[in-house]
Each structure stands twice: as structure tokens, then as C-alpha cells.
């Protein structure tokens, strides 16, 4: 096979120093001194012993809400979820920068930090209808050579309390959204059957998955976990349904959480977490041990919901590890798995990882191994997407370029 380029002296997570041969955007060879055996004409980039890790996967973002790229704005939302929903509606339509542009600003921040795949929720409501979806779709198109994106049609303001939103969600899926969203069927809608039946019907109709925001506490949340698992099982949607947050799983008794984990594992319902401030972290280790696919994302990054965040998934893994008291190296490895391989499985990304045959989608970082990369999260030096350089030393290139 004709090798297009080599990354030499790359450290793998297991500590080995290897040369990575790239052909047609894929990892074609991986081994000791591979580059030395090939003609001098093949371009070589010496990584100098830095760690090479697979492109990161952000499983939960809100690209349409970010204020990235705008001058700093004082945080205006109140303490409740409803006040934040209302603040969004007051601020976002009047910003001087479009949804497409703001989403693009945040995508590029993520790309410079090694994110290769992401799932963003996009607000669908009666006021903005599909406008935010159109903006994020345009941003996706513009950045398709740098990152892969899934879009969830997200009923931020509710479904049953806002007549017409179910039709808008259906239209959003027809218009390019990849999954249907949902939100707190009891707390926001006070009609769990109505909302869940409605959104699962859309998913079934169009053959797409679901990703449902579930902030509801304790047994209220647990009730909806059970309802979501029951519908997933009944409709054969296992592997295509995610619960976002699921704070309730960290608030109920161990026995209740264990039973919920078993239900989720059997139904094929995944969980995405971000280690939210001020709220409980779901029991990540217990859920994984029970067979639940748990992955992670950044959620709100510098927006009307939260002033914090940069898009750095290694920093996010560190926050989750800190919050979950993950201290040993194997526990920090778990935090990394949430923002890499586990996320890739959840998003259905094939050919993932640093392995022969996988896509050459990776980044390099000056760290001895995964635990140090997570704990210290130093800047990424080189970011490749499908074998091409998309960012270098914290700067996104205007267009992807081959290694030369
Ligand atoms: Zn969210």
C-alpha cells in the first residue's frame, strides 16, 4: 500500500513509541521504525515522543446557545431552569452575530482542542421554529472537513405545554436533524405519556434515535428513566437512545439505581454526563459495570446558561474525574474513555481509535500517558481529521492540509 505520510516517534497510550503510516486518510501501518523502511520521498512529521490519542468525542453540546466570539456579557440568567429558558429567548434573537457564526466559533474552539466528533442539541420552539437548526446545519456544512456532527432537535421549552412543537420536531428531523430530543416530561410538561409517546413516534416514523434531557430529581426522574427504557425496548430502539444527565440516578438509593442500571443496560439506553456543578454525578462506575454505555460531553460552553468552559474535553474529563473522586490511573483512564471510545460507540462512529484500519483522526499532546493528559490537559500540538491537519498549536487552519 502506498503510504501518503508518516508521524514518527508517536507515543501510544500503552507507552510504546511508534511510527504511524497514513494512507487515504486511514492508519495503514503502526510500528517500530516503520518510516525507515520506506522511500525518502514520503513526508515525515516527527512528533518527538508526544502522546497520540484518538480524536475526542463531545457527546452533548449546545452550539446554538454559545456566546463564543462575542465580547464578554455578564451572566443574566436566574437560578431556575425556567429563568434560563426565558433568558435564552430574550438574548439570543438580538445578538449581533448569527447562530451559524457563533456555532462556527465554538466548533473551531473544540477542534483546536482535539474534538473530532460531536453531538449538539438545537432548540426547536414556537418562537424560533427551525431557524436555529438552519444556522447549525450551515455551520456543520462549513466545518465538515474538520469535525463530524450529529444534531438533536431539542424542545428546550417543552413539548406538550407548547402545542405545535411536536410538528416542529418532526419537521426538524425531515429538515436534517439526526435525532429527536426531549426534556423533563413530568417537571416541564406535566405529561410524561404525552411527551414520550410523541417523541418516540417521531423517532419510529423516521428511523432515528433519541436523546432526552432528564434533569428531574429522585424518584420523579427515575419514573421517566423507566418509561424511556420501556418504550426503547418495545420499539426495538436499543442502542439508539440516550438519557442526558440523569441526575436522579445519583440521588435515589443504591438499590433503586442498580435496578435502573439493569433496565438501561437491557433496553440499550445510554447515559451522557458532564459532571454538572451543584448537582449529583450519576454513579458512573456502577452504571458501566452493569453494562450501561456511559459517555460525556461539555454541555453549555460560555452561553446564557453558564459562563464557563472552553470546549476542552480533556478538561471536562478532569472535571468529571474530580467530581467523581477518580484518583487512581485506571479511574482517570475511565474519565478519558467517556470523552473518547465510549462516546464513539454512542455516536455510532466506526473505524475509531489508534489502530491499523482506523481513520487517522487523532491529536498529539505533550504528556507521558492518558492520566497525565487528562489531569494536566496541556495544549494540543497537532490535530488530524481523516489524515489531514486541521489545527496546530491551538490554531485552526483555514482549510485542512495534508502532512507535507
Ligand atoms: Zn444540555
CA of 311 to the centre of ligand 1 (A): 14
pLDDT per position as a tens digit, 28-82: 999 988 888 777 789 999 999 999 999 999 999 999 999 999 999 888 878 888 8
pLDDT at 36: 82
CA of 103 to the centre of ligand 1 (A): 15
Specify burial of residue 148 (Cβ count, 10 A radius: 0-12, 13-18, 19+). Answer: buried
C-alpha separations of 364 from 118, 309, 368 in Å:
19, 21, 11
Q: Extract the residue ranges of the chain whose pLDDT is less than 70.
A: none
CA of 327 to the centre of ligand 1 (A): 27
CB 104 within 8 A of CB 143: yes
CA–CA gap between residue 227 and residue 224 (Å, rounded): 5
pLDDT at 34: 83
CA of 62 to the centre of ligand 1 (A): 6
pLDDT at 1: 75
pLDDT at 316: 98
pLDDT per position as a tens digit, 259-307: 999 999 999 999 999 999 889 999 999 999 999 999 999 999 999 899 9
CA of 258 to the centre of ligand 1 (A): 24
pLDDT at 179: 98
Distance between first and last Cα of the chain:
18
Specify burial of residue 284 (Cβ count, 10 A radius: 0-12, 13-18, 19+). Answer: buried
CA–CA gap between residue 49 and residue 286 (Å, rounded): 35
CA of 299 to the centre of ligand 1 (A): 5
CA of 330 to the centre of ligand 1 (A): 28
C-alpha cell at 88: 435564552
244 backbone dihedrals φ, ψ, rounded to 5°: -90, 130
CA–CA gap between residue 8 and residue 319 (Å, rounded): 32
CA of 397 to the centre of ligand 1 (A): 29
DSSP-assigned letters across all residues of 357-382 = TSB--EEEES-SSHHHHHHH-PPPSE
Q: What percent of the chain has pLDDT over 90?
A: 90
CA of 384 to the centre of ligand 1 (A): 27
Fill in the DSSP letter of residue 163.
T
CA–CA gap between residue 113 and residue 379 (Å, rounded): 7
Angle, helices 254-267 vs 218-234, to 10°: value is 20
pLDDT per position as a tens digit, 388-399: 999 999 999 999
pLDDT at 38: 75
CA of 52 to the centre of ligand 1 (A): 30
pLDDT at 165: 98
Please indicate, yes or no, whether the overall pTM of this predicted structure exceeds 0.95: yes
Amino acid at each position: 500500500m502506498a503510504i501518503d505520510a508518516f508521524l514518527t516517534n508517536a507515543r501510544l497510550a500503552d507507552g510504546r513509541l511508534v511510527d504511524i503510516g497514513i494512507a487515504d486518510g486511514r492508519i495503514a501501518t503502526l510500528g517500530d521504525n516503520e518510516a525507515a523502511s520506506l522511500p525518502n520521498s514520503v513526508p515525515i512529521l516527527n512528533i518527538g515522543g508526544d502522546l497520540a490519542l484518538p480524536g475526542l468525542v463531545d457527546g452533548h453540546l449546545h452550539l446554538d446557545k454559545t456566546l463564543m466570539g462575542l465580547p464578554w456579557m455578564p451572566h443574566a440568567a436566574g437560578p431556575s431552569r425556567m429563568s434560563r429558558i426565558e433568558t435564552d429567548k430574550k438574548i439570543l434573537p438580538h445578538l449581533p452575530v448569527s447562530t451559524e457564526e457563533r456555532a462556527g466559533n465554538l466548533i473551531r474552539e473544540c477542534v483546536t482542542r482535539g474534538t473530532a466528533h460531536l453531538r449538539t442539541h438545537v432548540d426547536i420552539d414556537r418562537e424560533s421554529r427551525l431557524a436555529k437548526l438552519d444556522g447549525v446545519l450551515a455551520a456543520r456544512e462549513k466545518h465538515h472537513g474538520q469535525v463530524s456532527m450529529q444534531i438533536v432537535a431539542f424542545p428546550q421549552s417543552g413539548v406538550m405545554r407548547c402545542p405545535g412543537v411536536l410538528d416542529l420536531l418532526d419537521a426538524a428531523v425531515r429538515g436534517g436533524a439526526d435525532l429527536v430530543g426531549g426534556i423533563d416530561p413530568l417537571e416541564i410538561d406535566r405529561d410524561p405519556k404525552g411527551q414520550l409517546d410523541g417523541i418516540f413516534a417521531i423517532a419510529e416514523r423516521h428511523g432515528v434515535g433519541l436523546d432526552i434531557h432528564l434533569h428531574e430529581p429522585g424518584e420523579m426522574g427515575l419514573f421517566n428513566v423507566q418509561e424511556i427504557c420501556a418504550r426503547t425496548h418495545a420499539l426495538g430502539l436499543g442502542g439508539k437512545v440516550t438519557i442526558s444527565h440523569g441526575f436522579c440516578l445519583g440521588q435515589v438509593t443504591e438499590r433503586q439505581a442498580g435496578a435502573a442500571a439493569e433496565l438501561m443496560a437491557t433496553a440499550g439506553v445510554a447515559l451522557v454526563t458532564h459532571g454538572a456543578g451543584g448537582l449529583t454525578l450519576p454513579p458512573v462506575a456502577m452504571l458501566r459495570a452493569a453494562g450501561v454505555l456511559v459517555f460525556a460531553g461539555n454541555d453549555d460552553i460560555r452561553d446564557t446558561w453558564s459562563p464557563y468552559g472552553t470546549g476542552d474535553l480533556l478538561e471536562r474529563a478532569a472535571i468529571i474525574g474530580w467530581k467523581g473522586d477518580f484518583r487512581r490511573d485506571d479511574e482517570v483512564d475511565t474519565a478519558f474513555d467517556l470523552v473518547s471510545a465510549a462516546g464513539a460507540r454512542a455516536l455510532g462512529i466506526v473505524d475509531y481509535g489508534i489502530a491499523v484500519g482506523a481513520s487517522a483522526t487523532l491529536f498529539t499532546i505533550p504528556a507521558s500517558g492518558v492520566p497525565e493528559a487528562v489531569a494536566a490537559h496541556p495544549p494540543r500540538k497537532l490535530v488530524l481529521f481523516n489524515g489531514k491537519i486541521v489545527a496546530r498549536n491551538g490554531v485552526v487552519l483555514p482549510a485542512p492540509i495534508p502532512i507535507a
